[in-house]
A and B are shown apart, each in its own frame.
Chain A
Amino acid sequence: KQEVTQIPAALSVPEGENLVLNCSFTDSAIYNLQWFRQDPGKGLTSLLLIQSSQREQTSGRLNASLDKSSGRSTLYIAASQPGDSATYLCAVPAGGTSYGKLTFGQGTILTVHP
């Protein structure tokens, strides 16, 4: 059974800092890995999806890396801003015939203070 762990559980940084969020998974036979952002009481916004054949994906100030063999992914946020404050979740497909059945980590609660 796939298990996903995110470290740290919470992170508080001053504005402008670069930061790294970590995600690990137990079964390396994944199709892809997706990072989401969730604002309090809201739905999920997709940030980045990395296919199993890729090692990195970038979108603006965000960069996600994937190391399948070690079961790890990192989300790098450059020059953090207060608007980046949210919960960040990583998820991998549970396998089988559908990529849509996701297994989520517990999330990292990020606070960026001015």
Chain B
Amino acid sequence: SAVISQKPSRDICQRGTSLTIQCQVDSQVTMMFWYRQQPGQSLTLIATANQGSEATYESGFVIDKFPISRPNLTFSTLTVSNMSPEDSSIYLCSVEDRLSYEQYFGPGTRLTVT
């Protein structure tokens, strides 16, 4: 199974600022996924990040708001830009084991926007 770490674990940010969340995996993976979990809600996929290409965004999410980098096969970042209180959520990255198809998640980043 993959071991995933995220930084920061939590942050409190002011409206209008940006926060970059880091995701590190202990093994090389082709695709990494970013999810959002709003308070009291389930998880929603934001985008899929492939190394060496543009991220693919789901309906309702745009690159200007959630730019993603994927510089190598073990690391990705998600930036939440021009934040508003509605962006207060837990942001999680995940990877897929291509042999078992099991999905593994990081511990999440709890973001509060004031």
Which residues of A pack against B, CB within 8 Å? 31-32, 34, 36, 41-46, 49, 51, 89, 91, 93-94, 98-102, 104-107
Contacts and interface: CB of A to CB of B under 8 A. Distances in A.
Given A45-B105, A46-B104, 12 more contacts: A41-B108, A43-B105, A44-B92, A46-B1, A49-B101, A89-B42, A94-B45, A99-B103, A100-B31, A100-B95, A100-B103, A102-B45
A101 B95 CA distance: 10
B100 interface: yes
Listed from nearest, the 6 A-B pairs whose CB atoms lie closest are A100-B96, A44-B105, A43-B107, A43-B108, A104-B42, A43-B105
Nearest to A34: B103
Contacts of A99: 96, 101, 103
A100 B48 contact: yes
A104 B43 contact: yes
Contacts of A44: 43, 92, 94, 105
Contacts of A107: 42
Interface residue range, chain B = 20 to 34
Nearest to B6: A43
Nearest to A31: B101
Nearest to A49: B102
Contacts of A32: 101
Contacts of A45: 105
B102 A34 contact: yes
Interface in B84-114: 90, 92, 94-96, 100-108, 110
A110 to B, nearest CB: 15
B75 interface: no
Interface in B1-36: 1, 6, 31, 33
A94 B43 CA distance: 13
A93 B98 CA distance: 13
14 contacts: A34-B102, A41-B108, A42-B108, A43-B92, A43-B106, A44-B105, A89-B42, A89-B43, A91-B43, A100-B48, A100-B95, A100-B103, A102-B103, A107-B42
Contacts of A49: 100-102
